[in-house]
Amino acid sequence: MTRLVSLFFFLWVAIAVLPPPVLAETIAPVRAAIDGFIRPNFERFADISELMVSDVEPLCERPSRKQLKDARSAFRAAATAWARVEFVRVGPLSTGNRAERILFWPDRRGTGLRQVQAALANKDGSVQTVGDLSQKSVALQGFGALEYLLFGTGSENLATAGSGFRCAFAVAAAQNISAIAREVSDAWNDDMGHSGIWLTPGPENESYRTDSEALAELVGTLAHGFEMVRDQRLRPIAPENRRPGLHKRALFWRSDATVSVINANLSGMQSLFDVSGLADSLTHDQRWLAGSIAFEFSNARKTISGIKLPIDRLVGDTEQSSKLAYLLVVTRSLQRLVGEEMANDIGLSTGFSPMDGD
C-alpha cells in the first residue's frame, strides 16, 4: 500500500512540473510563422530602415556625390526589406494606416507625385520634420515620396549645397518610415498584442473564434500576397499593356528597384510558407500540393534571375518582358494552389480579399 501511495505521489509531482501543453496541431503553423518569419523579418526591416536614416541624414550635412549614392543604396535596401514583409497585412501593419504611410501604392492618379512636387515648389515647412510629416497625407510620408526626393527630377542637386529644403524633406520621410517600422516590429514582439490574439483562438476572442479561423488568416495572407504581386506589381507593366512610358507604371521605376522588390515579395512569401510548415497540414492524399507549390516558387526564382535589363528597357524588350508575362502565370498558379487547393484540403476559407475592389 505504501508503494502504491508513493507511486501516485510521484506521478502527481511529475504531472505538476510538466511544461504546459503545446499548441494544438492546427495552430502550430501560426506560431512557426510568427516566431520564424514575421518577428525576425519585421525586426530586420526596422534595423535596415534605421540604417537608411543614418545614410540620408549626412546628405544634408555633407552633400556629395558619394553621399547621394550611399543614400540611394540605403533606400533600395530598405525598400527591399519592406517588400519581404509588406504582404503581412494583419495585426500591427493593418492599423493606423501604417501600410499606406510606409508605401502609398497603387497610386493610379499620381496623387503622391503631385503632392510631393507641390511641397517642393511651395517649400512647405510642414514636411521638414518627422513630427509634422507624420500628420500629413499618407502620400507624402513613405517610400513613394522618398524615392522621388532621392531619384526624381532635381535630385542630382542633393549632391551639392543649396538643396537644404529637399534634403530635410527626405530626412523626415526616412525617419518616418523608420519610426513606423520600429512600431510594427515592437508590436509583433509584444505577446499581449496581435501575436497573442492570433495564437489564442476561442469563444472570447473577437478576431479568431477557432483554430481554423487563425490558420485561415495565415493561408489567406499568402494567397492575398500572390494577388498583390500579380495585380499591383506585374499586371500594370505586363506585355499586353505595352506602350510608350509603360515603365512609369511600375513601382519604384525611378530607383530601378522594381524587379528586386518583386523578387523580395516572392522570396518572402516562400520563406513564410516554408518556415510555417503549412505543408504538414495537408492530408496524405494532397501532399503533392507541397511539391507543386515549391515547383512554382522555383519557376519564379529562375524567371526573375533571367531579367537583366533596367525597367525602362525591360518593358520594351520582347524576350525580357515575356518573363513578366510568365510571372503573371506563376503568381496566379500560386494563388490557386495555396488559396484554393490547400485551403479546401484543410477545410479553410481564406475570406474576402482586400484587393478585390469596391
- Taking the chain (358 residues) in runs of 10, the rounded mean pLDDT of each run is 43 38 68 98 98 97 96 98 97 96 95 96 96 96 98 96 94 98 98 96 96 95 97 92 86 97 98 97 93 97 96 93 96 97 87 42
265 in the same domain as 117:
no
Cα–Cα dist 71/58, whole Å: 9
Task: Identify the pLDDT of residue 245.
Answer: 86
Residue 246 · residue 237 · CB < 8 Å: yes
224 in the same domain as 192:
no
187 in the same domain as 99:
yes
SS3 label, residue 109 = coil
Task: Identify the pLDDT of residue 350.
Answer: 59
CATH code of 42's domain: 1.20.1420.20
Task: Identify the pLDDT of residue 241.
Answer: 72
Per-residue pLDDT tens digits for 311-328: 999 999 999 999 999 999
Given 137, 172, 199, which residue is the final one in a domain?
Answer: 199
97 in the same domain as 31:
yes
* 143-151 vs 65-83: helix crossing angle, rounded to 10: 150
Residue 208 · residue 328 · CB < 8 Å: no
Residue 56 · residue 74 · CB < 8 Å: yes
159 in the same domain as 287:
no
In which domain, by residue range, is 277 found? 211-345
56 in the same domain as 184:
yes
Task: Identify the pLDDT of residue 242.
Answer: 73
123 in the same domain as 186:
yes
329 in the same domain as 299:
yes
Total domains in the chain come to 2
145 in the same domain as 221:
no
158 in the same domain as 42:
yes
Cα–Cα dist 247/253, whole Å: 7
Given 199, 227, 248, which residue is the final one in a domain?
Answer: 199
Residue 90 · residue 212 · CB < 8 Å: no
